[in-house]
Structure 1
Amino acid sequence: MTAHRGDSPWFRNFRPAPEAPVRLVCLPHAGGSASFYFPVACALSPRVEVLAVQYPGRQDRRQEPAATDLEVLAERIVEALGPWTDKPYALFGHSMGAIVGFEAARRLEAAGRGPARLFVSGRRAPSLDGAGDWQPRTDEEVVAEIRRLNGTGDALLEDEETLRMILPALRADYGAVRRYRYRPGPALDCPVTAFTGDRDPKAEAGEVQAWHTHTTSGFELNVLPGGHFFLVDQQEPVLRTIEEQLERAMSPAVAS
């Protein structure tokens, strides 16, 4: 029996696909929102049902305080995800979302309902994370960093009203990432697939390769052309890889 999902503030189901054999739960980057994954939902439906996570502190949740602790954020997402784990699912996280996805996967596996696979993008391995992360001191530094990473269009950055809306979440997210410290524990049972851009200043290929130490199952690294937001231009090959790997993960269940 499917549990009642209600109108959870945590998830956006842009393209419902109840007949899809698998779900993909997508976690945004620092300052990002669920709408970043709208194109992903459109591209994968109805073969894969995409749930985009909406963190507090942005868009329709901007009146709520943004998370200041990534582990607490992961725990809250895990609690909300319960009704959606009635069929196989995978997690996908970009940048900050990769760490949140990893911490969520640890908790989900400990509860006996882990993901079929963890997809991580644009983030070095958790065991390398923490103190090296940059923390902005002023709003101007935040804007300069977004420009450097090309995380949003310049036109948005010139709009004062838009800046006022996104800066509080960005500052909170950068602080949460800066404070994150990996806690050693059992490696994941699920396979991990990692993506990064060949010109990403925040996730060099060697640092991303270290994700293999966080799983006892398979690991695959995909290096694609681009910088930190290579996903925008490389959506097609990324989603093709995700679909292929989810299809393989589902095939034993179909055969049985």
Structure 2
Amino acid sequence: MIGGQSQLDITLWIKRFPGGQTSHGESLPTIVFPHAGGAAAAYRNFALALSAKGVDTFVVQYPQRGERLRDPAPDTVAELAAEMLTAVDWAHLGPLRLFGHCMGALVGFEFARLAAQRGIVVRELWASASQAPSTVADSRPAPTTDRELLADIADMGGTDARLLEDEDFLELLLPAVRADYHAFNRYTCDRSVRIDADIHAVGGTSDHRVDQELLRQWEFHTHGVFTFTQFDGGHFYIDDHLDDVADLVSCT
């Protein structure tokens, strides 16, 4: 059962990893939002780590990848969040927890804003390796040409260098990254915009893409509690700390 419901209509492009009762009591269902260009499969191990701790976990799949390869990409982050929100009757799950990595945290933030308008309760947003919403408009635009995208993906890390030399792989990867980067480049948010959910900013100590200052500014976007945690590692620190991050998320 999930949130007291025996059945829930889950679309095929949302991956569910069932949890259960934790040592801390019933845990909030958690939705995971991947990074720009990231597929749901990249978060399978993290979802399994959360599930093992009793957390019902749902990993969303954005358009232009996986089983949604031919689905058109929304133009904006807000439209992408709205698509995720309407895909499932999330209200049946009860209060939610959201976890977004990099651009995924912005999608989660917009998801929380839209959810509030529909009476869907979001208790917590985990913003992982992501700059705060109000900092995006003044930051350097994300690249969109093939050459720039390849250089940026290599710089970001998290992708096997051998795959970046595979033309078939790049034919699938680059359109997804480009679509997400276009949405990122269009994103704007005033510093005064806040959500009721607690916000927990998490990052890597050696992340050269999202430094501590950008991460800490998430504090301005919540009416609730704000926490800040760092782990050793870079932009994809989570890959080296799956169990520790899952423990952090599941225990709140």
Taking structure 2 as the reference length, what is the TM-score of the superposition?
0.89
Aligned with 2:59: secondary structure?
A: strand
Q: Greater share of helix residues, 1 or 2? A: 1
Equivalent AA in structure 2 for residue 191 of structure 1: D
Q: Distance in 2 between matches of 1:84 and 1:49?
A: 15
* Alpha-carbon distance, 1:244 to partner: 1.4
Alignment of 1:230-249 (within 5 A): 230-245=237-252
* Alignment-derived partner of residue 96 in structure 1: 103
* Alignment-derived partner of residue 47 in structure 2: 41
Instruction: Select 1:6's aligned residue among 1, 5, 9.
Output: 9
Aligned with 1:68: secondary structure?
A: coil
* Alpha-carbon distance, 1:121 to partner: 0.6
* Alignment-derived partner of residue 61 in structure 2: 54
Equivalent AA in structure 2 for residue 35 of structure 1: A
Alignment of 1:117-196 (within 5 A): 117-183=124-190, 186-196=193-203
Asked if 1:65 corresponds to 2:100, the answer is no
Equivalent AA in structure 2 for residue 17 of structure 1: G
Q: Distance in 2 between matches of 1:110 and 1:185?
A: 18
Aligned with 1:231: secondary structure?
A: helix
C-alpha contact (below 8 Å) 2:82/2:111 kept by paired residues? yes
Asked if 1:227 corresponds to 2:227, the answer is no
RMSD in angstroms over aligned alpha carbons? 2.0
Equivalent AA in structure 2 for residue 43 of structure 1: A
Q: Distance in 1 between matches of 2:9 and 2:118?
A: 22
Q: Distance in 2 between matches of 1:29 and 1:81?
A: 21
C-alpha contact (below 8 Å) 1:150/1:229 kept by paired residues? yes
Taking structure 1 as the reference length, what is the TM-score of the superposition?
0.88
* Alpha-carbon distance, 1:152 to partner: 0.7
C-alpha contact (below 8 Å) 2:14/2:59 kept by paired residues? yes
Instruction: Select 1:26's aligned residue among 17, 29, 32.
Output: 32
* Alpha-carbon distance, 1:85 to partner: 4.1
* Alignment-derived partner of residue 19 in structure 2: 17
Structure 1: stretches of 5+ with no match in the other structure: 246-256
Q: Distance in 2 between matches of 1:219 and 1:83?
A: 24
Aligned with 2:181: secondary structure?
A: helix
Q: Distance in 1 between matches of 2:131 and 2:105?
A: 9
Aligned with 2:200: secondary structure?
A: strand
C-alpha contact (below 8 Å) 1:11/1:54 kept by paired residues? yes
Equivalent AA in structure 2 for residue 25 of structure 1: I
Aligned with 2:78: secondary structure?
A: helix
% identity of equivalent residues: 34
Aligned with 2:31: secondary structure?
A: strand
Q: Distance in 2 between matches of 1:143 and 1:112?
A: 41
Q: Distance in 1 between matches of 2:38 and 2:166?
A: 17
Taking a change above 3 Å as real, the CA distance of residues 236 and 17 of structure 1, as seen in their structure-2 partners, is closer
Taking a change above 3 Å as real, the CA distance of residues 187 and 139 of structure 1, as seen in their structure-2 partners, is same
* Alpha-carbon distance, 1:84 to partner: 5.9
C-alpha contact (below 8 Å) 1:10/1:80 kept by paired residues? no
Equivalent AA in structure 2 for residue 231 of structure 1: I
Structure 2: stretches of 5+ with no match in the other structure: none
* Alignment-derived partner of residue 222 in structure 2: 215
Q: Distance in 2 between matches of 1:91 and 1:166?
A: 25
Aligned residues: 244
* Alpha-carbon distance, 1:185 to partner: 5.7
Q: Deviations along 1:198-218, whole A, 9 cap, x unmatched?
A: 222221111111111111111
